[in-house]
Chain A
Amino acid sequence: MERENPIFAENEREANRYSCRCLQVMALIAVLAWLLNLVDVFIVPTVVMNAAMPICIAAFLLPTLLLPRMDRLGGGFKYLIMGCCILGITVLSVAIPKHTVLAWIAPVLLSCHYYSRKLTASALVASVVCLCAAGIASLYVGEGDPNLIEAFHMEEAVITPEIFREAVLFFLLPRSAILVGMAFVCITVAKRTRNLLEKQAEDSAARQHIETELSVANQIQADMLPSIFPAFPERPEFDIYAGMTPAKEVGGDFYDFFLVDDDHLATVIADVSGKGVPAALFMVITKTLLKNAVQMGLSPGEALEKVNNQLCENNEAEMFVTVWLGIYEISSGKLTAANAGHEYPAIRKAGGAFELLKDRHGFVLAGMENTRYREYEVEIGVGDTVFLYTDGVTEATDGTNTLYGTDRMLAALNRDGDLGPEALLQQVKEDIDRFAGAAPQFDDITMLSFQRKQTEAAKSIRVEPILESLPRVCEFLEETLEEYGVPLKVVNQVDIAADEIFSNIARYSGAVRASVSCKVVENRAIIRFSDDGTPYDPTALPEPDTTLSAEEREIGGLGIFMVKKSMDRVSYAYLDGQNTLTIEKGW
């Protein structure tokens, strides 16, 4: 039993040490008594004392000597301690029985440290047996007890059977009975303490379980935020970076960004009211709903309205969330955004400084049903940078509870002129850390920034969408790609893809105008086919079954399937009345 629980194993070691210390004190008292007797303060016969005390002191000190070997002796050590204690007291009792009455409770009391009923009960039985034995022995050899026999010194006493009977019946028996009664108090204490310890161990295991789960939840929440950067290495048109420094407790800040389609980047930054698990759960719901709404093709204002109503439906907890949602059109640089009670975004025009964009705030999400959210548009020029943040930034505090504030934030943003998103976020974070010093921060610090980048203009040609234009298209692609030193194999694959895509346009689209553009970014060719024909997404075509036999095979759909298989990325968008199919191939 006692081996099972590490708490009890540890307690037993502690109790062993503690018991040894108690026995040392008892040994010290025995030495004092011996000395006082030698200088005639006590008047016990010297012969008796000289014989009893060394044995008694040795018995008390033996466990201390063996203490370093405690581990080797294991569970037996505590019985050794009890044995030594009882032996010492027994010897003492034989010598001076009338002074040692109280001492008999010592072994039982000591055993209480072990929280073991068995040990305390064993100590009690041994004590009672030894008490009686010592009592009887003391009649013949001890100092004598005037309560037991009339003679003060044993040498003068005559132990008649009558005296013996009286001593046993009227003294040893009641003393033993009292000892048993007191020992039961000790047994109860041992048992109760043991139960308490067991319960405490259970509670601590349960708490540890909850803590583990919370930390997993925390991790899941953190993993929900896109955190691999560069996030879109294949998109040289913009650069985006975001980060969250969580406060101690799980919080409700989040950011998100994703491509809605080939030409639209959605960015979200939000802060859920409150903290802890409720805020984290609300954050997960909000993030998911927002992404769904935006991916359905809703504009920022519409998306906020829809999500607001969804969140309001079952919001018994009266939580709310502030959100800034922007959809950035990559080709034109047009940013459409709506703000549901979130902090003002900061925007820097290329070559300029960051300024807050005092956009019109709508009400927070989940606050009130059917709230309207006004959309606005901002032109993001090449080199312009947008910076979004939560109140964890502006409300970071220093040791004197001064707020960091937007002025300090803008100053930090503008300190080093022309930083990219990642360096920018780092700079602000460092500034906040410097400002806050050792003061604990209570809110997550969340920031997101994106910048429109200069991209190399793609080469393009306009061609008539007829099959006869195909050689021109291939020629244009080959020339452009060879100019960049693209490997021949890739050129061939692009040619095959162009053959498939362009022949489709020529045959089926009904277009009157078509164009092909081509550019190479690092080790990646990006080719875009545009036509003004009927909207048609070839990427949505079901894949052909390539396992059929020659007789069963249909050739339809094989072309675009080959394109999908040979290119790294094929994406379709219908933009400004044009079918736009973009293929990418790296090497």
Chain B
Amino acid sequence: MNIVKTSEGTKLTLAVEGRLDTTTAPQLEAELKSSLDGVTELTLDFEKLEYLSSAGLRVLLAAQKVMNKQGSMVVLHVNETIQEVFEVTGFVDILTIQ
């Protein structure tokens, strides 16, 4: 998995590529932990993300909880497989998916 980070003032965009699963989720978790301070607009671009597992969901949930306190979070370019996962797990109601 690759994470491409673009920062612009208090706006942060993370483009996640590859797979967000049990082995790679800790990587994103660490990235978020270190970069979220002071961020008010977090954008997660999933254009090149193949799929994500519950480990990935856990990280997204944690990020959403943080951003609920300090700003907003948007998830972009969700493919069909990932959209299904979000729907099945009720994450469609928690995340802002565009």
Chain A contact residues, CB within 8 Å of chain B? 467-468, 470-471, 489, 492-493, 495-496, 499-500, 502-503, 544-551, 553, 555, 558-559, 561-562, 565-566
Contacts and interface: CB of A to CB of B under 8 A. Distances in A.
Contacts of A559: 53-55
B57 A555 contact: yes
B23 A467 contact: yes
A547 B93 contact: yes
B81 interface: yes
Interface string B42-70: 00000000111111011001001100100
A471 B23 contact: yes
Interface residues on B, range: 20 to 34
B90 interface: yes
Contact of B88 (A503, A549, A555, A562): A562
A250 to B, nearest CB: 47
B23 A550 contact: no
Given A496-B21, A503-B22, A555-B58, A566 B80 contact: no
B35 interface: no
Contacts of B10: none
Given A467-B23, A496-B53, A499-B21, A551 B68 contact: yes
Nearest to B54: A559
Interface of B: 19, 21-23, 50-55, 57-58, 61, 64-65, 68, 80-81, 84-85, 88-91, 93-94
Contacts of B64: 550
A550 B61 contact: yes
Given A471-B23, A492-B50, A495-B19, A561 B81 contact: no
Nearest to B51: A492
B53 A499 contact: yes
A471 B18 CA distance: 13
B89 A558 contact: yes
Contacts of A493: 51, 81
Question: What secondary structure prevails in chain A residues at the interface with B?
Answer: helix
16 contacts: A470-B21, A470-B23, A489-B80, A492-B51, A493-B51, A496-B21, A496-B53, A496-B81, A499-B53, A503-B53, A544-B89, A546-B90, A546-B91, A551-B68, A558-B89, A565-B88
A496 B22 CA distance: 9
B64 to A, nearest CB: 5
Contacts of A550: 61, 64-65, 68, 94
Contacts of A561: 88-89
Contact of A546 (B21, B50, B89): B89
A489 B81 contact: yes
Given A547-B90, A555-B57, 7 more contacts: A496-B52, A545-B90, A546-B89, A555-B58, A558-B54, A558-B58, A562-B54
B65 A551 contact: yes
B54 A555 contact: yes
A470 B55 CA distance: 13
A561 B64 CA distance: 21
Residue with the highest number of chain B CB atoms closer than 10 Å, among A495, A544, A549, A558: A558
Contacts of A553: 61, 94
A500 B54 contact: yes
A113 B89 CA distance: 80
A4 to B, nearest CB: 63
Nearest to B73: A550
Contacts of A468: 23
A471 B65 CA distance: 30
A422 B35 CA distance: 66
